[in-house]
Structure 1
Amino acid sequence: MTTSQSAKPRVAVTLGDPAGIGPELVARLLADPGTTAAADIVLISDERELADAQADAGVEFSYGGPREPRLHDNGAARPGAFERKIATEAGGRWAMSNLRVALEMADAGDVDAIVFAPLNKSSLHLAGMREKDELRWFETILGAEAYTCELNVLPTIWTARVTSHVSIAEVADGITRENVLGAGRLLHTVLRDSGIAAPRIGVCALNPHAGESGRFGRHEIDVIAPAVAELRTEGVDAAGPFPSDTIFLRRDEFDGVLTMYHDQGQIAMKLLGFDGGVTMAGGLRVPICTPAHGTAFDLVGRRTASTGSIRNAFGLAARIGARRAARNSTVRHSA
């Protein structure tokens, strides 16, 4: 069924690293009737993983019937029971095989969005992922050519990063006019896709006190401010650069904040809303969302992990997926 024939977006869901809390979170998400009412869900998994997930969570959910999630077996050879609470090659390989199928379905137009439960980067690298993180792996699988970056989302504020998973020593070299423009444009576009008609974006400085007129560095003068000015000529409501130690105190003035490096925004976002945060892979052909927290090996089997982030990730993916699918359908019908 195409999205134009259905009022609901099609969302692929994977259970993340089997060693962590992902299977439990997905089971609890799917046990809520409101989840299945919001989207046509395709579970990339197998029956054993779904049974284990329900046992982890102490809940039951139905799949395979009318108006229920559909199981799409990933076709991978299961290695047996997965070791829990530890990063393993087997767990990483399983998580990647599920995600690869979801990405291929998105690339073929069979789903409008993807949600994945938390991954463990050590498991992914043990399983052979050569890229620094899953976003770069997604780029490889999808053959992405446009600017991409990781976005972090709370109900009241978004952030995007000019640099992400690089060492602090490499950050300054990554703060270029082209990268600031790319991240700013992407944040503006995704905020509009989420339903904000005229996004307001605040831009962080790189240096303390925004460089203090060049005394502590010239990135603000030579790179960031000119990029902000160019964004404004393109119709992006961007302002800055502002000192990063105060910009989040002004968050009511902005819908999104463009940060220069990973922890500049992540520390603030996790303090403001750790249990509800969402990470989105921005700039790809399909919205891909996941909880902003990790696999939480210490919480496995305790049934105490919060579902706030996975619920928000699912809601955001469904909302953006529906808007993009409707727009693509309009383009196809008008061509």
Structure 2
Amino acid sequence: MTTTPITRPRVAITLGDPAGIGPELIAGLLSRRENTEAADIVLVSDAAELRAAGEDAGAPVAYGDAPGTGLPVLYDNGAARPPGTADGFERGRATRNGGLWALANLSTALDMAKDGTVDAILFAPLNKSSLHLAGMTENDELRWFEEVLGVESFTSELNVLPGLWTARVTSHVSVAEVDAGITRGNVVEAGLLLDRVLRGSGFEAPRIGVCALNPHAGENGRFGRHEIDVIGPAVGDLAARGVDATGPFPSDTIFLRARAGEFDGILTMYHDQGQIAMKLMGFDGGVTIAGGLPVPICTPAHGTAFDVVGKGVAATGSVQNAFDLAVALGGRRSPA
């Protein structure tokens, strides 16, 4: 992996669903001086949310209203706060108001990315039920990002643990719909995206292992022909385009090989094929990246954890790793 230096990036941060642990995680993150010194941070929030976050975290959030102070800058988005929430949001469950606030802050951060005032975005965990109650019609936030940013090319969520990245060909669809999404073109697009993001994060020649879809990689067609007719040819296409991709390998062993250091990235065929393995390998440190967008967008790979809100027990490993990746990716994107 290269050690190419990065420039100081500008990172927009939103606190996620206000009913969950996101606000307290961000307050804890910003209480560490090494984090506030790593980037020019713009907090898309308001004073009331930051105050409540600091109380939950036991670490008041220090911020300024202008750059150059050494503190995060608050972009006061209070005008977008839903009516009736001046005294706070209902905690510990999905609500329309929580979804409206989360979407409003993310919309503002995306506008900043579109006009070039930030180089990366970090958002704390969201709750899809809240987002759908608030009117989001897309299956997930990645599809919503595509719509807001006007992206029509292939996108995919990437999941990251220290030393291992994954991307997937299909994502938030039912298992019954996975088969239709496993096409030669889609496998190639997902593989190219994984290779591109790995290179953009500093890997000079990333090694990518490709999962099979069927048990035992189909056993030469006995359990299905996807590996013979679709995935194998797609791996050949990737190799022809300069990607160090090999496979398809059975999904019940490929992560053992990755853990041993054989691969930098794994391309999976569907959501749980990679997510179960990644969360077993490092639930408290995982990061999700929205890949294929014009701006790096990172978030912890866990959810809103409604059951532990305000108890002071929320693990901070994932939000720290997500921030570090946003800084690294944004710094390589930021002009020197």
TM-score exceeds 0.5: yes
How far is the alpha carbon of 1:61 from its aligned partner? Answer: 3.0
| Whole-angstrom CA distance in 2 between matches of 1:139 and 1:67 | 33
When structure 1 is superposed on structure 2, of 73-82 and 21-30 the one drifting more is: 73-82
SS at match of 2:94: coil
| Whole-angstrom CA distance in 1 between matches of 2:151 and 2:76 | 26
SS at match of 2:334: helix
| Whole-angstrom CA distance in 2 between matches of 1:77 and 1:261 | 36
Write the mapping of 1:171-320 to structure 2, written as runs, cut at 5 A: 171-251=178-258, 252-320=261-329
| Whole-angstrom CA distance in 1 between matches of 2:334 and 2:191 | 23
Deviations 1:181-217 (A, max 9, x none): 1100000000011111100000000000001001111
Aligned position for 1:20? 20
Aligned position for 1:72? 75
- AA partner of residue 259 (structure 1): T
| Preserved CA contact (<8 Å) 2:290 2:298 | yes
SS at match of 1:198: coil
Write the mapping of 1:43-122 to structure 2, written as runs, cut at 5 A: 43-64=43-64, 66-74=69-77, 75-79=79-83, 80=85, 81-122=88-129
How far is the alpha carbon of 1:7 from its aligned partner? Answer: 4.1
SS at match of 1:86: coil
- AA partner of residue 332 (structure 2): R
| Whole-angstrom CA distance in 1 between matches of 2:225 and 2:243 | 24
| Whole-angstrom CA distance in 2 between matches of 1:35 and 1:246 | 37
Deviations 1:166-185 (A, max 9, x none): 00000011000111011000
How far is the alpha carbon of 1:62 from its aligned partner? Answer: 1.4
| Whole-angstrom CA distance in 2 between matches of 1:320 and 1:41 | 14
| Whole-angstrom CA distance in 2 between matches of 1:177 and 1:7 | 38
- AA partner of residue 77 (structure 1): R
Unpaired stretches in structure 2, ≥5 consecutive residues:
1-5
Unpaired stretches in structure 1, ≥5 consecutive residues:
1-5, 330-335
Aligned position for 2:330? 321
Please identify runs of 4+ aligned residues in structure 1 that moved more than 2 A: none
- TM-score, with structure 2 as normaliser: 0.94
| Preserved CA contact (<8 Å) 2:46 2:74 | yes
| Whole-angstrom CA distance in 1 between matches of 2:308 and 2:33 | 25
When structure 1 is superposed on structure 2, of 91-100 and 72-81 the one drifting more is: 72-81
SS at match of 2:314: coil
| Whole-angstrom CA distance in 2 between matches of 1:189 and 1:102 | 24
SS at match of 2:289: strand
| Preserved CA contact (<8 Å) 2:7 2:332 | no
How far is the alpha carbon of 1:301 from its aligned partner? Answer: 1.1
- AA partner of residue 10 (structure 1): R
Aligned position for 1:3? none
| Preserved CA contact (<8 Å) 2:82 2:100 | no
| Whole-angstrom CA distance in 2 between matches of 1:325 and 1:171 | 37
How far is the alpha carbon of 1:77 from its aligned partner? Answer: 3.3
Deviations 1:12-62 (A, max 9, x none): 000000000000000000000011111000000000000000011011231
When structure 1 is superposed on structure 2, of 207-216 and 70-79 the one drifting more is: 70-79
- AA partner of residue 298 (structure 1): D
| Preserved CA contact (<8 Å) 2:19 2:90 | yes
More helix by share: 1
How far is the alpha carbon of 1:78 from its aligned partner? Answer: 3.9
Report sequence identity in percent.
69
Deviations 1:103-148 (A, max 9, x none): 0100111100000000000000000000000000000000002210
SS at match of 1:253: coil
Aligned position for 1:333? none
- TM-score, with structure 1 as normaliser: 0.95
| Whole-angstrom CA distance in 2 between matches of 1:50 and 1:304 | 19
- AA partner of residue 80 (structure 2): A
- AA partner of residue 109 (structure 1): G
SS at match of 1:97: helix
State the superposition RMSD in angstroms. 1.1
- Aligned residue pairs total 322
| Whole-angstrom CA distance in 1 between matches of 2:114 and 2:184 | 31
